[in-house]
Amino acid sequence: MQTFHNPLHAQHAGQFEMFRGQLVPCHEVPSRVDFVLAELQRRQLGPIAAPALDAAALAASGLAEALAAVHQPRYLSFIESAWSQWVALNPAHASQDALPSVWPVRGFRADVEPDNFAARMGLYSFDAGSPLTAGTWAAAQAGAACALAAANAVLAGAPSAFALTRPPGHHAGPDFFGGYCFINNAAVAVHTLRQRFARVAVLDVDYHHGNGTQSIFYSHPDVLTVSLHGDPRTEYPFFLGHANERGEGAGLGANLNLPLPRGTGFDVWHAALHIACQAVADFGAQALVVPLGVDTFAGDPISGFVLQSADYLQVGQTLASLGLPTVFTFEGGYAVAEVGVNTVNVLEGFKQASSLQVPRQMP
């Protein structure tokens, strides 16, 4: 399995987030990727490369078009320029991350972009747990380039590829950031795969509902979004992820949420994964994108399932049983010391099971 690694990810390194009413050190830290990368190198699971990130290469790659396909232009413009706007307000801000503090709620207008920076931050965010830093745009853009490269590798015939990057992406919506996410890497991969595959499925195994991905594709009949996650009545990000959210308009029936209660163990969780896989098969998906979060681990500090490290090998095997060209994007997992083993266990299980299958014909 080829891995596309983001060499700029550490440029995004938030200092503090708002968590349960207090400013605390960020749970989403650069060492998360470092542990995964070290484990990939130790096991020699496949080649590891960084996509070309110079301006000419990014322009030629079609990244700008992919971003514009999944995010609104004014949102992208804000994220790209937000840090310079923040520092222009006060030079002292150069040493302080930017966090939102005010939001439009039901009945408030979101169609008019405010002039006030704090108001713009609130317009484009849904929580106060995602600090924007000097390197956020560079890291997020490079991460999207990794997702694009992974999808292009699959289009070129690779059975699978992994975008190893942070900040993660599955909470980023058409025009909002949150949950540590600014650009939706999984959505970039889906858009790229749709160049060849008529029907693409997203199967999100992160503990937290992929609210951004669902929002992007909620009316799309040719993209199935499936998410296994903590029940939104009690678990972040709340407000989306309920079982009765099935899509809308032409996309009605192309969204499946499988919320599970805090404390769920592997047997119940794995049974839900089988339901998810059956939905992907019934949809007739020709390619798969897996937002790969391992915050379902029993030791995760901000989650509530109790999977063990060995379980992730079986997760990979079950995903491989679909027999689909697959792109993995790195998402959550905040038990930092174990995140490498848990993530690579999924990939190794997938690779081992895939090697035993008869390759599917590319369309």
Among residues 32, 60, 33, 44, which one has the least CA distance to residue 152? 60
CA distance 220 to 150: 22
b/e sequence 63-95, b meaning 16+ C-beta within 10 Å: beebbeebbeeebbebbeebbeebbeeeeebee
3-state secondary structure 259-285: EECCCCCHHHHHHHHHHHHHHHHHHCC
**62: CB partners within 8 A, 6+ apart:** 148
Contact, 160 vs 246, CB < 8 A?
no
As given in the structure block, the two tokens for residue 146 are 């990794």
Cα within 13 Å of Cα(37), Cβ side = 17
Rg of the chain on CA atoms, in Å? 19
- The structure tokens 């609104």 sit at 72
CA distance 101 to 18: 10
Written as one string, the DSSP assignment of 132-179 is B-TTHHHHHHHHHHHHHHHHHHHHTT-SEEEEE-SS--TT--SS-BBT
As given in the structure block, the two tokens for residue 14 are 């938030």
Rounded to the nearest 10 degrees, the angle between the axes of helix 136-155 and helix 63-70 is 100
Catalytic residue numbers, as ranges: 171
CA distance 85 to 148: 28
**337: CB partners within 8 A, 6+ apart:** 35
CA distance 319 to 326: 9
Among residues 342, 55, 324, which one has the least CA distance to residue 190? 324
